[in-house]
Amino acid sequence: MNFEIPEWLAESAADIEAARTLVLQTAWKIENTGFESVKNDVSIIKYHTANVMQNVIDKALQSLGGLGMTDDKILAYFYRHERAARIYDGPDEVHKMVVARNLLK
């Protein structure tokens, strides 16, 4: 086994758990304080979780080598659609600009 793969797996698990916690915490805040109070959190989720997903898929593709980019594996499909999904709701830069603006208030 490639020595990098266990490290990638551990990093991916931590990144996924952090993103999941951020989503669950924000959902809790929405239920208890309303959406207006969590707009910044939602913007953070939009770019952070998308980047986590891209990084996890990229590591999985890398671990499979050339096979990962073929349609024999579902990872190529995930990669293509994840990248497009990062554009649907506005580019990451827009969400980051909203977060930065709110933090500087």
Asked if 60 contacts 68 with a C-beta cutoff of 8 angstroms, the reply is: yes
pTM, full prediction: 0.83
| pLDDT lower than 50: segments of the chain | none
The confidence score (pLDDT) of residue 85 equals 78
The confidence score (pLDDT) of residue 89 equals 78
The confidence score (pLDDT) of residue 90 equals 82
CATH of the structural domain 4-104, one choice from 3.40.1190.10, 1.20.140.10, 1.10.3720.10, 3.30.1390.20? 1.20.140.10
Residues 6 or more apart in contact with residue 35 via CB below 8 angstroms: 42
